[in-house]
Amino acid sequence: MKSVWQETVNIPEFPRLKGDINTDVLIIGGGMAGILTAYFLHQKGVKYVLVEKDRICSGTTQNTTAKITFQHGLVYQKILKTKGLEPAQKYLEINKRALKKYEELCKNAECDYERKDNFVYSADNRLKLENEMNALMKIGYNAEFCEDVSIPIKTVGAVKFPHQAQFNPLKFVAIIANGLNIYENTFVREMTESSAITDCGKIHAKKIVAATHFPFINKHGSYFLKLYQHRSYVIALDNAQQLNGMYVDENRKGNSFRNYKNFLLFEGGGHRTGKSGGNYNELRTLAKRFYPYANEKFHWAAQDCMSLDDIPYIGKYSKHTPNFYVASGFNKWGMTGSMVSAIIISDLLTLGANDFADVFNPSRNILTPQLLVNGFEATKNLLTISEKRCPHLGCALKWNSAEHSWDCPCHGSRFSEKGKVLDNPANGDLKL
């Protein structure tokens, strides 16, 4: 099971750490967020080290659909209602800057960067779309309303953001990672206040950034309550529709569409990790109906960290960890989320402040309806009788027959049939 990106790119290799080292900044996690943070610190002349437990971009980044947009579903009406006008405007502005920064970096990089319009459609709720248009008008952004969109799903309309973008994320990383101070196959097993302990050495650092997808330290930040994980599935179809844009359902259980060269990337079948869902079966059934002459060439699955309020957690890991930072909870918008986190965290590390950091503050109020759902799922699975328990916090694991893995419904850790950890926050293999 490889994504179309993995089949088209050779990522540069980096050595494994051997022995103890000292640095000013340690970045843990070699996905897009960690790589971009390292890139900005490198540009600013900061002494840093990035460590990755496997190969860089071997996790979520290689499984993205790589849409670069500041249209994140219908998020602006929610932010405006729950946070107010200024936070909504700041969220929009920093994500617009993220798109612009990608455009600058991709200008001289052969990474299949293309400007595309983005559409968020609804199959049955026009009022949601109209509310989003009204919210955007109050915030100061002129979106467009489309009655019809060129996808094979019947819709009640769509909100259009023009001039967004898409690219090949691994081609991009292969270029910007060259020359960065990276150690691969270096798994951080334990943390102390100012150091990380790996299998082959200790890293002493003045400041530490956790860009590990799901934050793995439970003692601070309560991320086991503030995040859950969601899986979605992608098939790359040959001889299918060529679209002039990127299309996303406002419903997280819906479908998204975008082209990459001759392929149509068709996404859907999503569900909370550890729960049942449509997975590949749902996608393939729809593909046969929508594109009867198409052929499936690739298939893969993505896993996303979902925050309590649809805003990522970017900044200080907790109130009690002044030299420890985090980037997580990108809510399926990992490309702009990674860039936003790299901009904010590199500023916090070098300047001590960023004008947009307050919106993404990980220590903000967590009293939301989603908190109750997360707490209920954790309690239910902790009380479930099962031989196989997640080593993260002891929840009962569920068998995922579509992907032949053991999945945790509490926090999203996943393990292979033989017990190898596939997705964190679990920081070790399953003992079978």
- CATH 2.102.10.10 in the chain, residues? 369-421
- Give SS3 for 301: strand
Q: Taking residues 289-293, what's their average pLDDT?
A: 97
| CA 278-385-279 angle, 5° bins | 10
Alpha carbons 333 and 329: distance in angstroms, whole number: 9
Alpha carbons 293 and 288: distance in angstroms, whole number: 8
pLDDT at 401: 86
pLDDT at 373: 83
**pLDDT > 80? residue 386:** no
Name every residue whose Cβ is closer than 8 Å to that of residue 76 and which is 6 or more positions away in sequence: 88, 91, 92, 132, 135, 136, 139, 141
Alpha carbons 300 and 9: distance in angstroms, whole number: 16
Phi then psi dihedrals of residue 11, to 5 deg: -75, 140
Residue 50, sorted as left (phi over 0), alpha (psi -120 to 50) or beta, turns out to be beta
Name 137's bridge partners: none
**pLDDT > 80? residue 432:** no
pLDDT band at 377 (very low <50, low <70, confident <90, very high): confident
pLDDT at 61: 95
Alpha carbons 199 and 308: distance in angstroms, whole number: 34
Name every residue whose Cβ is closer than 8 Å to that of residue 127 and which is 6 or more positions away in sequence: none
| Inter-residue contact 283 to 330 (CB < 8 Å) | no
pLDDT band at 369 (very low <50, low <70, confident <90, very high): confident
Q: Give the model confidence (pLDDT) of 22-42 as tens digits.
A: 999 999 999 999 999 999 999
pLDDT at 326: 98
Other beta carbons within 10 Å of 93: 17
CA dihedral (189, 192, 195, 197) in degrees, to 10, reads -20
Residue identified by tokens 């957690």 is 313
In this structure, is the dihedral angle defined by the CA atoms of residues 413, 417, 420 and 422, taken in order, positive or negative? negative
pLDDT at 114: 97
Integer angstrom CA distances of residue 179 from 13, 41, 104: 11, 12, 19
Strand pairing of 405-407 and 414-416?
antiparallel
Alpha carbons 228 and 372: distance in angstroms, whole number: 12
Residue 160, sorted as left (phi over 0), alpha (psi -120 to 50) or beta, turns out to be beta
| Inter-residue contact 416 to 408 (CB < 8 Å) | no
Integer angstrom CA distances of residue 11 from 39, 110, 173, 340: 16, 14, 8, 23
**pLDDT > 90? residue 315:** yes
CA 320 from chain centre, in angstroms, equals 25
Structure tokens at 334: 């990992």
Alpha carbons 93 and 98: distance in angstroms, whole number: 9
Alpha carbons 411 and 305: distance in angstroms, whole number: 9
Mean pLDDT across the chain, nearest whole number? 94
pLDDT at 64: 96
Give the closest residue to 135 by CA, choosing from 95, 96, 69, 87.
87
pLDDT at 384: 81
- Give SS3 for 80: helix
The CATH class, in words, for 369-421 is mainly beta
Q: Taking residues 52-74, what's their average pLDDT?
A: 96
Q: Taking residues 338-353, what's their average pLDDT?
A: 98
The CATH class, in words, for 71-90+107-166+232-302 is alpha beta
Integer angstrom CA distances of residue 393 from 76, 234, 320: 34, 30, 22
Single pTM value for the model: 0.95
Q: Give the model confidence (pLDDT) of 211-244 as tens digits.
A: 999 998 888 999 999 999 999 999 999 999 999 9
**pLDDT > 80? residue 351:** yes
Q: Give the model confidence (pLDDT) of 235-269 as tens digits.
A: 999 999 999 999 999 998 899 999 999 999 999 99
**pLDDT > 90? residue 419:** no
Give the homologous superfamily in CATH for domain 21-64+171-226+309-360.
FAD/NAD(P)-binding domain (3.50.50.60)
- CATH 3.50.50.60 in the chain, residues? 21-64+171-226+309-360
Q: Taking residues 98-116, what's their average pLDDT?
A: 97
- Give SS3 for 121: strand
Alpha carbons 289 and 81: distance in angstroms, whole number: 39
